[in-house]
Structure 1
Amino acid sequence: MNYSEFFTNRPTEEIAQDLLGRTLSFDNGQETLAGTIVETEAYLGPKDRAAHSYNGRRSQANEGLYCPGGHLYIYSQRQYFFFDVATQEKDNPQGVLVRAIEPTAGLTTMIKNRNGKNGALVTNGPGKLMQAFGIHSRKWDLASLEESPFTIDLTSKRPIEKILALPRVGINQSDPEWANKKLRYIVAGNPFISDIKKKEIKTSHGFDKS
Protein backbone atom coordinates (compact mmCIF):
# COMPACT_ATOMS: atom_id res chain seq x y z
CA MET A 1 0.00 0.00 0.00
CA ASN A 2 1.28 3.47 -0.86
CA TYR A 3 0.59 6.75 0.93
CA SER A 4 -2.12 7.83 -1.50
CA GLU A 5 -4.07 4.61 -0.90
CA PHE A 6 -3.55 4.70 2.87
CA PHE A 7 -4.73 8.29 3.26
CA THR A 8 -7.84 8.05 1.04
CA ASN A 9 -10.85 5.81 0.36
CA ARG A 10 -11.94 5.44 4.00
CA PRO A 11 -13.09 7.70 6.83
CA THR A 12 -10.53 10.07 8.34
CA GLU A 13 -11.41 8.72 11.80
CA GLU A 14 -10.34 5.25 10.65
CA ILE A 15 -7.10 6.57 9.18
CA ALA A 16 -6.30 8.38 12.44
CA GLN A 17 -6.67 5.14 14.39
CA ASP A 18 -4.70 3.11 11.86
CA LEU A 19 -1.73 5.47 12.28
CA LEU A 20 -1.38 4.45 15.94
CA GLY A 21 1.44 1.98 16.44
CA ARG A 22 3.19 2.98 13.22
CA THR A 23 6.63 4.58 13.07
CA LEU A 24 6.99 8.24 12.09
CA SER A 25 10.56 9.14 11.18
CA PHE A 26 12.45 12.21 10.03
CA ASP A 27 15.78 12.19 8.19
CA ASN A 28 17.63 15.36 9.18
CA GLY A 29 20.47 14.67 6.74
CA GLN A 30 22.76 13.27 9.43
CA GLU A 31 20.61 10.71 11.21
CA THR A 32 17.07 9.42 11.36
CA LEU A 33 14.91 10.46 14.29
CA ALA A 34 11.88 8.27 14.88
CA GLY A 35 9.09 7.27 17.18
CA THR A 36 5.93 5.20 17.41
CA ILE A 37 2.76 7.22 16.89
CA VAL A 38 0.69 7.03 20.09
CA GLU A 39 -1.80 9.92 19.73
CA THR A 40 -3.66 11.39 16.75
CA GLU A 41 -6.57 13.75 16.08
CA ALA A 42 -8.99 13.65 13.15
CA TYR A 43 -10.34 16.82 11.54
CA LEU A 44 -13.34 16.34 9.29
CA GLY A 45 -13.33 19.28 6.92
CA PRO A 46 -15.89 22.06 6.28
CA LYS A 47 -18.52 20.65 8.66
CA ASP A 48 -16.03 20.39 11.56
CA ARG A 49 -16.00 23.64 13.54
CA ALA A 50 -12.57 22.79 14.95
CA ALA A 51 -10.99 22.21 11.53
CA HIS A 52 -8.89 24.87 9.82
CA SER A 53 -11.05 24.25 6.74
CA TYR A 54 -14.35 24.80 8.58
CA ASN A 55 -17.04 26.30 6.39
CA GLY A 56 -14.78 25.97 3.35
CA ARG A 57 -12.08 28.34 4.58
CA ARG A 58 -9.18 28.23 2.14
CA SER A 59 -5.99 30.25 1.99
CA GLN A 60 -2.29 29.88 1.34
CA ALA A 61 -1.92 29.02 5.04
CA ASN A 62 -4.17 25.94 4.96
CA GLU A 63 -3.78 24.86 1.34
CA GLY A 64 -2.10 21.65 2.52
CA LEU A 65 -5.46 20.33 3.70
CA TYR A 66 -6.83 20.68 0.17
CA CYS A 67 -4.05 18.55 -1.32
CA PRO A 68 -4.60 14.87 -2.14
CA GLY A 69 -4.33 12.41 0.75
CA GLY A 70 -0.75 11.76 1.81
CA HIS A 71 0.39 15.39 1.46
CA LEU A 72 1.70 17.34 4.43
CA TYR A 73 -0.07 20.20 6.11
CA ILE A 74 2.54 21.76 8.39
CA TYR A 75 1.27 24.80 10.25
CA SER A 76 2.43 27.01 13.07
CA GLN A 77 0.96 28.52 16.21
CA ARG A 78 3.17 30.99 18.02
CA GLN A 79 6.68 29.49 17.84
CA TYR A 80 5.50 25.88 17.47
CA PHE A 81 4.99 23.76 14.36
CA PHE A 82 2.57 20.89 13.84
CA PHE A 83 2.59 17.78 11.64
CA ASP A 84 -0.69 17.09 9.88
CA VAL A 85 -1.36 14.80 6.91
CA ALA A 86 -4.16 15.48 4.44
CA THR A 87 -6.69 12.70 4.02
CA GLN A 88 -9.29 12.06 1.33
CA GLU A 89 -9.17 13.17 -2.28
CA LYS A 90 -8.03 16.56 -3.59
CA ASP A 91 -10.22 19.49 -2.44
CA ASN A 92 -11.86 17.47 0.37
CA PRO A 93 -9.94 19.22 3.17
CA GLN A 94 -9.74 16.68 5.95
CA GLY A 95 -6.63 15.66 7.87
CA VAL A 96 -4.99 13.93 10.80
CA LEU A 97 -2.76 15.70 13.32
CA VAL A 98 -0.04 13.54 14.87
CA ARG A 99 -0.04 14.64 18.50
CA ALA A 100 2.55 12.40 20.19
CA ILE A 101 5.16 9.75 19.54
CA GLU A 102 7.19 7.40 21.73
CA PRO A 103 10.84 7.83 20.62
CA THR A 104 12.54 4.81 19.09
CA ALA A 105 15.61 6.29 17.33
CA GLY A 106 17.76 9.38 17.74
CA LEU A 107 16.72 10.08 21.32
CA THR A 108 19.95 11.89 22.24
CA THR A 109 19.43 14.38 19.41
CA MET A 110 15.76 14.77 20.28
CA ILE A 111 16.61 15.63 23.89
CA LYS A 112 19.18 18.16 22.67
CA ASN A 113 16.60 19.69 20.31
CA ARG A 114 14.21 19.93 23.26
CA ASN A 115 16.81 21.86 25.28
CA GLY A 116 17.53 18.99 27.63
CA LYS A 117 13.96 17.93 28.39
CA ASN A 118 13.74 14.16 28.67
CA GLY A 119 11.33 11.36 29.50
CA ALA A 120 7.80 11.86 28.22
CA LEU A 121 8.40 15.61 27.87
CA VAL A 122 10.50 15.00 24.77
CA THR A 123 7.57 14.24 22.47
CA ASN A 124 4.29 14.25 24.46
CA GLY A 125 2.60 16.92 22.36
CA PRO A 126 2.39 17.99 18.71
CA GLY A 127 4.63 21.04 19.06
CA LYS A 128 7.11 19.11 21.17
CA LEU A 129 7.55 16.26 18.70
CA MET A 130 8.29 18.70 15.88
CA GLN A 131 10.76 20.55 18.07
CA ALA A 132 12.35 17.20 18.94
CA PHE A 133 12.75 16.55 15.21
CA GLY A 134 14.40 19.96 14.85
CA ILE A 135 11.60 21.44 12.73
CA HIS A 136 11.41 25.24 12.96
CA SER A 137 9.69 26.16 9.70
CA ARG A 138 6.90 25.18 7.32
CA LYS A 139 9.42 24.15 4.68
CA TRP A 140 7.75 20.82 3.95
CA ASP A 141 4.17 22.12 3.92
CA LEU A 142 2.34 20.97 0.74
CA ALA A 143 4.93 18.26 0.00
CA SER A 144 3.83 14.67 -0.45
CA LEU A 145 5.25 12.27 2.09
CA GLU A 146 7.24 10.58 -0.68
CA GLU A 147 8.94 13.90 -1.54
CA SER A 148 9.71 14.82 2.07
CA PRO A 149 12.26 13.69 4.68
CA PHE A 150 9.36 12.28 6.73
CA THR A 151 8.37 8.63 6.54
CA ILE A 152 5.43 6.73 8.01
CA ASP A 153 5.97 2.98 8.00
CA LEU A 154 2.94 1.40 6.34
CA THR A 155 4.44 -2.11 6.30
CA SER A 156 4.21 -2.85 10.02
CA LYS A 157 2.85 -1.55 13.31
CA ARG A 158 3.23 -2.39 16.97
CA PRO A 159 0.27 -4.38 18.31
CA ILE A 160 -1.84 -2.21 20.59
CA GLU A 161 -3.69 -3.45 23.65
CA LYS A 162 -6.45 -0.85 23.52
CA ILE A 163 -7.27 2.30 21.53
CA LEU A 164 -9.32 4.97 23.28
CA ALA A 165 -11.33 7.69 21.54
CA LEU A 166 -11.39 10.95 23.51
CA PRO A 167 -12.41 14.59 22.96
CA ARG A 168 -9.79 16.66 21.14
CA VAL A 169 -7.52 19.02 23.06
CA GLY A 170 -7.82 22.82 23.12
CA ILE A 171 -11.03 23.01 21.09
CA ASN A 172 -13.24 26.08 21.58
CA GLN A 173 -16.01 25.18 24.00
CA SER A 174 -18.38 27.72 22.40
CA ASP A 175 -19.51 24.83 20.20
CA PRO A 176 -20.07 21.94 22.62
CA GLU A 177 -20.97 19.47 19.88
CA TRP A 178 -17.62 19.63 18.08
CA ALA A 179 -15.61 20.45 21.20
CA ASN A 180 -16.70 17.16 22.75
CA LYS A 181 -16.63 14.85 19.74
CA LYS A 182 -14.32 11.94 20.42
CA LEU A 183 -11.95 12.42 17.50
CA ARG A 184 -8.66 12.08 19.39
CA TYR A 185 -7.24 8.57 19.49
CA ILE A 186 -4.62 7.26 21.89
CA VAL A 187 -2.71 4.11 22.74
CA ALA A 188 -4.26 3.66 26.17
CA GLY A 189 -1.68 3.66 28.96
CA ASN A 190 1.21 5.08 26.95
CA PRO A 191 3.28 7.58 28.98
CA PHE A 192 3.82 9.86 25.96
CA ILE A 193 0.14 10.79 25.63
CA SER A 194 -0.14 14.56 25.99
CA ASP A 195 -2.47 14.60 29.00
CA ILE A 196 -2.07 11.19 30.63
CA LYS A 197 -2.19 10.83 34.43
CA LYS A 198 0.49 8.81 36.19
CA LYS A 199 -2.03 6.32 37.51
CA GLU A 200 -3.13 5.55 33.93
CA ILE A 201 0.36 4.64 32.66
CA LYS A 202 0.85 0.95 31.91
CA THR A 203 4.18 -0.81 32.26
CA SER A 204 3.59 -2.20 28.75
CA HIS A 205 3.14 1.37 27.45
CA GLY A 206 -0.10 0.08 25.96
CA PHE A 207 1.50 -2.35 23.52
CA ASP A 208 0.95 -6.08 23.38
CA LYS A 209 4.32 -7.66 23.97
CA SER A 210 3.16 -11.27 23.57
Structure 2
Amino acid sequence: MDYFQTLSTDFFQQPTLKLAQSLLGCVLVKETAEGIASGYIVETEAYMGPEDRAAHSYNNRRTKRTEVMFGEAGFVYTYKMHTHTLVNVVSGPLEKPEAILIRAVEPYIGIDLMQKRRGTDNLKNLTSGPGKLTKALGITMDDYAHSFSKPPLFIVQGKVPNEISVGPRIGIDNTGEAKEYPWRFWVTGNPFVSRHQKGGTSK
Protein backbone atom coordinates (compact mmCIF):
# COMPACT_ATOMS: atom_id res chain seq x y z
CA MET A 1 0.00 0.00 0.00
CA ASP A 2 1.29 3.46 -0.90
CA TYR A 3 1.67 5.69 2.17
CA PHE A 4 3.19 8.70 0.42
CA GLN A 5 6.88 8.50 1.35
CA THR A 6 8.52 6.97 4.40
CA LEU A 7 10.45 9.54 6.41
CA SER A 8 14.21 9.32 6.09
CA THR A 9 16.49 9.01 9.09
CA ASP A 10 17.67 12.56 8.34
CA PHE A 11 14.18 13.90 9.07
CA PHE A 12 14.53 12.87 12.70
CA GLN A 13 17.82 14.76 13.10
CA GLN A 14 16.01 18.08 13.50
CA PRO A 15 16.24 19.83 16.88
CA THR A 16 13.58 18.41 19.19
CA LEU A 17 11.31 21.46 19.36
CA LYS A 18 11.36 21.77 15.58
CA LEU A 19 10.82 18.05 15.06
CA ALA A 20 7.82 18.10 17.41
CA GLN A 21 6.19 20.57 15.02
CA SER A 22 7.41 18.89 11.82
CA LEU A 23 5.74 15.64 12.91
CA LEU A 24 2.32 17.32 12.84
CA GLY A 25 0.49 16.21 9.73
CA CYS A 26 2.71 13.14 9.24
CA VAL A 27 1.05 9.72 9.26
CA LEU A 28 1.72 7.21 12.05
CA VAL A 29 1.26 3.66 10.70
CA LYS A 30 1.16 0.29 12.48
CA GLU A 31 1.07 -3.04 10.67
CA THR A 32 -0.25 -6.06 12.58
CA ALA A 33 -1.66 -9.48 11.76
CA GLU A 34 -5.12 -7.93 12.15
CA GLY A 35 -4.43 -5.33 9.49
CA ILE A 36 -3.06 -1.84 9.01
CA ALA A 37 -4.14 1.17 11.06
CA SER A 38 -2.91 4.72 10.74
CA GLY A 39 -3.62 8.32 11.63
CA TYR A 40 -2.39 11.84 10.96
CA ILE A 41 -0.37 13.14 13.90
CA VAL A 42 -2.21 16.19 15.24
CA GLU A 43 -0.65 16.75 18.68
CA THR A 44 2.84 16.30 20.15
CA GLU A 45 4.79 17.21 23.28
CA ALA A 46 8.54 17.74 23.44
CA TYR A 47 10.63 16.52 26.38
CA MET A 48 14.05 18.11 26.47
CA GLY A 49 16.15 15.61 28.38
CA PRO A 50 18.47 16.17 31.34
CA GLU A 51 17.44 19.81 31.97
CA ASP A 52 13.69 19.16 31.71
CA ARG A 53 12.14 18.14 35.04
CA ALA A 54 9.18 16.62 33.20
CA ALA A 55 11.39 14.27 31.15
CA HIS A 56 12.02 10.67 32.15
CA SER A 57 15.70 11.37 31.47
CA TYR A 58 15.90 14.37 33.79
CA ASN A 59 19.37 14.59 35.36
CA ASN A 60 20.56 12.04 32.77
CA ARG A 61 18.54 9.31 34.47
CA ARG A 62 19.58 6.19 32.60
CA THR A 63 17.50 3.07 33.25
CA LYS A 64 16.33 0.04 31.32
CA ARG A 65 13.24 2.06 30.40
CA THR A 66 15.06 5.18 29.19
CA GLU A 67 18.05 3.48 27.53
CA VAL A 68 16.72 3.94 23.98
CA MET A 69 16.55 7.71 24.53
CA PHE A 70 20.35 7.88 24.73
CA GLY A 71 20.67 6.45 21.23
CA GLU A 72 19.94 7.74 17.74
CA ALA A 73 16.96 9.91 16.91
CA GLY A 74 14.04 8.32 15.07
CA PHE A 75 13.58 5.27 17.28
CA VAL A 76 10.54 4.17 19.28
CA TYR A 77 10.34 4.90 22.99
CA THR A 78 7.29 3.20 24.47
CA TYR A 79 6.48 3.09 28.15
CA LYS A 80 3.60 2.13 30.41
CA MET A 81 1.52 4.65 32.33
CA HIS A 82 -1.07 2.90 34.48
CA THR A 83 -2.61 0.41 32.03
CA HIS A 84 -1.77 2.40 28.90
CA THR A 85 1.16 2.20 26.52
CA LEU A 86 2.42 5.61 25.35
CA VAL A 87 4.55 6.12 22.26
CA ASN A 88 7.37 8.62 21.76
CA VAL A 89 9.85 9.50 19.04
CA VAL A 90 13.43 9.57 20.29
CA SER A 91 15.04 12.87 19.31
CA GLY A 92 18.16 14.91 19.95
CA PRO A 93 21.82 13.96 19.38
CA LEU A 94 23.49 10.82 20.70
CA GLU A 95 23.74 10.71 24.50
CA LYS A 96 21.30 13.66 24.75
CA PRO A 97 18.13 11.80 25.78
CA GLU A 98 15.23 13.82 24.37
CA ALA A 99 11.90 12.57 23.06
CA ILE A 100 8.55 13.62 21.61
CA LEU A 101 5.29 12.17 22.90
CA ILE A 102 2.63 11.60 20.26
CA ARG A 103 -0.51 12.78 22.06
CA ALA A 104 -3.21 12.43 19.39
CA VAL A 105 -3.82 11.37 15.81
CA GLU A 106 -6.66 11.86 13.36
CA PRO A 107 -7.91 8.42 12.21
CA TYR A 108 -6.98 7.67 8.61
CA ILE A 109 -6.72 4.05 7.43
CA GLY A 110 -8.17 1.09 9.32
CA ILE A 111 -10.90 2.96 11.18
CA ASP A 112 -13.07 -0.16 11.55
CA LEU A 113 -10.14 -2.00 13.13
CA MET A 114 -9.44 0.90 15.47
CA GLN A 115 -13.10 1.05 16.55
CA LYS A 116 -13.04 -2.68 17.28
CA ARG A 117 -9.92 -2.37 19.41
CA ARG A 118 -11.25 0.60 21.34
CA GLY A 119 -14.80 -0.70 21.64
CA THR A 120 -16.32 2.57 20.48
CA ASP A 121 -17.89 4.07 17.37
CA ASN A 122 -17.22 7.62 18.57
CA LEU A 123 -14.75 8.81 15.94
CA LYS A 124 -13.67 11.95 17.78
CA ASN A 125 -12.89 9.94 20.91
CA LEU A 126 -11.11 7.15 19.06
CA THR A 127 -7.53 8.43 19.05
CA SER A 128 -7.75 11.77 20.91
CA GLY A 129 -5.22 10.92 23.60
CA PRO A 130 -1.85 9.15 23.95
CA GLY A 131 -3.30 5.96 25.48
CA LYS A 132 -6.27 5.90 23.14
CA LEU A 133 -4.18 6.11 19.97
CA THR A 134 -1.80 3.30 20.93
CA LYS A 135 -4.68 0.94 21.70
CA ALA A 136 -6.46 1.89 18.48
CA LEU A 137 -3.38 1.43 16.31
CA GLY A 138 -2.14 -1.70 18.08
CA ILE A 139 1.07 -0.14 19.40
CA THR A 140 2.56 -2.16 22.29
CA MET A 141 5.71 -2.40 24.39
CA ASP A 142 7.03 -4.83 21.77
CA ASP A 143 7.60 -1.80 19.53
CA TYR A 144 10.21 -0.41 21.93
CA ALA A 145 13.55 0.51 20.28
CA HIS A 146 12.43 -0.18 16.71
CA SER A 147 13.09 2.38 13.97
CA PHE A 148 10.27 4.68 12.88
CA SER A 149 11.69 4.50 9.34
CA LYS A 150 10.50 0.94 8.64
CA PRO A 151 7.63 -1.43 9.48
CA PRO A 152 5.87 -2.53 11.54
CA LEU A 153 5.58 0.90 13.24
CA PHE A 154 6.61 3.79 11.06
CA ILE A 155 5.93 7.41 10.14
CA VAL A 156 5.41 8.73 6.63
CA GLN A 157 4.92 12.09 4.99
CA GLY A 158 1.39 13.45 5.16
CA LYS A 159 -0.03 16.94 4.90
CA VAL A 160 1.47 20.15 6.26
CA PRO A 161 -0.89 21.86 8.76
CA ASN A 162 -2.23 25.29 7.86
CA GLU A 163 -1.63 26.50 11.40
CA ILE A 164 0.04 25.16 14.56
CA SER A 165 -0.90 26.13 18.12
CA VAL A 166 1.55 26.15 21.03
CA GLY A 167 0.96 25.84 24.77
CA PRO A 168 2.04 24.12 28.01
CA ARG A 169 2.25 20.35 28.26
CA ILE A 170 -0.44 18.32 30.02
CA GLY A 171 -0.39 16.13 33.12
CA ILE A 172 2.98 17.21 34.54
CA ASP A 173 1.85 19.31 37.50
CA ASN A 174 4.62 18.21 39.87
CA THR A 175 7.50 19.43 37.73
CA GLY A 176 7.97 23.00 38.95
CA GLU A 177 8.43 25.60 36.25
CA ALA A 178 8.68 22.87 33.60
CA LYS A 179 4.88 22.56 33.60
CA GLU A 180 4.72 26.06 32.07
CA TYR A 181 7.12 25.48 29.18
CA PRO A 182 5.27 25.94 25.83
CA TRP A 183 6.38 22.60 24.42
CA ARG A 184 3.02 21.16 23.40
CA PHE A 185 2.12 21.58 19.73
CA TRP A 186 -1.13 20.80 17.96
CA VAL A 187 -2.90 21.36 14.65
CA THR A 188 -5.05 24.42 15.25
CA GLY A 189 -8.75 23.61 15.29
CA ASN A 190 -8.34 19.88 14.72
CA PRO A 191 -11.20 18.01 16.46
CA PHE A 192 -9.02 15.03 17.36
CA VAL A 193 -6.65 16.94 19.66
CA SER A 194 -6.68 15.51 23.19
CA ARG A 195 -7.47 18.79 24.90
CA HIS A 196 -8.53 22.05 23.29
CA GLN A 197 -6.79 24.74 25.24
CA LYS A 198 -7.77 28.36 25.43
CA GLY A 199 -4.86 30.74 25.30
CA GLY A 200 -2.64 28.68 23.04
CA THR A 201 -0.62 30.81 20.65
CA SER A 202 -0.41 30.17 16.92
CA LYS A 203 2.68 29.87 14.78
TM-score normalised to structure 1 length: 0.86
Instruction: Provide the aligned length of Structure 1 versus Structure 2.
Output: 193
Measured after TM superposition, the shift of residue 159 of structure 1 is 3.2
Trace 1:1-210 onto structure 2 (pairs within 5 A): 3-8=8-13, 10-135=14-139, 137-146=140-149, 148-154=151-157, 157-175=158-176, 177-196=177-196
Distance 1:6 1:120, change over 3 A: same
1:26–1:149 CA contact under 8 A, matched in 2: yes
Gaps of 5+ in 1: 200-210
Note the alpha carbon deviations across 1:57-105, whole angstroms, 9 max, x for none: 0100111211200111010111100110111222110011111000011
TM-score normalised to structure 2 length: 0.89
Percent of residue pairs identical? 37
Q: Distance in 2 between matches of 1:117 and 1:162?
A: 28
2:9–2:149 CA contact under 8 A, matched in 1: no
1:64–1:74 CA contact under 8 A, matched in 2: no
Cα RMSD (Å)? 1.8
1:145–1:151 CA contact under 8 A, matched in 2: yes
Q: Distance in 2 between matches of 1:158 and 1:62?
A: 31
- Matched to 1:195, the amino acid is R
Gaps of 5+ in 2: 1-5, 199-203
- Matched to 1:49, the amino acid is R
1:110–1:133 CA contact under 8 A, matched in 2: yes
Q: Distance in 2 between matches of 1:80 and 1:117?
A: 20
